[in-house]
Amino acid sequence: MGRQEIEHAFANAGWDLDDCFTDVLIIGCSGDSVSLLAHEEAWRDNESVFEILDHKRIVGRWVREIPTPQQAQELLARLCRANGSVKGAVDVLE
């Protein structure tokens, strides 16, 4: 998936694109504390892995599909419940 395809997929899933760090990141914002990131490798190496981050709870998860903001929030909420809201946890979805 190329850079423009990823940007379109983020927008189609309901994410607002943030144009900061455009050389190395595609950032999708949802208007709350959750964001979706595509690192440069996602479009450079055709590596379809994305990072969901909750900035309030300081928790994240790697995913292979682009979720909607609602799906991302639900996934991170389940992760926090399962891990006892451990701050700084980053879980990799294989």
Q: Could you report the per-residue pLDDT of 56-66, keeping only the tens digit for each?
A: 888 888 998 99
Report the relative pairing of strands 90-92 and 59-63 from DSSP bridges. parallel
Split at pLDDT 50, 70, 90, the class of 83 is low
Is residue 1 scored above 90 in pLDDT? no
Handedness of CA 21, 22, 25, 29 (dihedral sign): positive
Query: Where in the chain are the domains?
Result: 3-92
